[in-house]
Structure 1
Amino acid sequence: MHNALIFPMAAHVALAALLYVLLTVARAPAVWGIGRRVDGGNPWADVEPRISANLSNQFEWPLFFHAACLALLPFPPGPMTLALAWLFVAGRVLHSTVQILTRNVRLRGIVFTLNFLAVLGLWVEAVGTWSR
């Protein structure tokens, strides 16, 4: 049985994998000496903590996204379910971009709210589906 919810779930896993790669690159000058500045400094020193924090964020609220999707996998997803799942993924990508490239906490909070509401919507869908 094919369920299209697997694709937004896989997209979020791909985002986390990308963040691991970015974190490895950002830490390479300090850990392996690869890419150090002439003065020996790490050119990624300012952004490395933000990548690390964002990667940690991928294992907090997104846990509830994956749990809701798993609860919905046995059922064919409706357009609203798929829209909420992809909204979550788009929001996570945007959240990562804002957190890593800026220090704009207010914007990050607004983007997080989109993720938060998308996951709540998925849980409403899951509870409604299992209640039938």
Structure 2
Amino acid sequence: MNPNLSIVQPLLVQAGLTFFLLFWMAKERVGAIRDGTVIRNETGVRPTWVGRAGTVSNAFHNQLEMPILFFVVTILAILTGSADYPMTALAWVYVILRIVHAAIHTTYNKIPHRFVAYFLSNLVLLAMWVKLALHVFTAG
């Protein structure tokens, strides 16, 4: 496969993780509403989701934070021609670490374990940005 296109695979898996958590969150929130376990605040904005609904909701929202930079660097790598095999490998490592992070978050949720996955994924993401910057600033 063309290296510029193979980097799309981890991007699609990351998007799939986000959608998976979105639908899981919706299921848990509907259950919390039915059970009456949602805590509504007086302003009506952002109710407090407790239990499983809160955990999955937090895991989903984590996918809307740093992974945004992953989507951007991946697309820029394709556009600049820097989506080579090392960049693709970094993308896969990033996505695997995000899956590990989400799995820890939605299961036993040990914060030190979750933090390791979070920290390592951000180091990989930083490496992707550095690699992109080196390519852009040293090209032609």
- Indicate whether the TM-score tops 0.5: yes
Taking only aligned residues, the RMSD between alpha carbons, in angstroms, comes to 2.1
Matched-pair identity in %: 20
The normalised TM-score by structure 2 is 0.80
- The equivalent residue for 2:54 is 49
CA distance in 1, matches of 2:32, 2:56: 15
One-letter amino acid of the structure 1 residue matched with residue 103 of structure 2: T
Change (3 A) 1:128 1:50: same
Size of the aligned set, in residue pairs, is 125
Matches within 5 A, 1:89-104: 89-104=95-110
Change (3 A) 1:56 1:94: same
- The equivalent residue for 1:10 is 12
CA distance in 1, matches of 2:109, 2:94: 21
Unaligned runs of 5+ in 2: 39-49
CA distance in 1, matches of 2:126, 2:116: 15
One-letter amino acid of the structure 2 residue matched with residue 25 of structure 1: K
Tell me, what secondary structure is at the counterpart of 1:47? helix
CA distance in 1, matches of 2:123, 2:70: 11
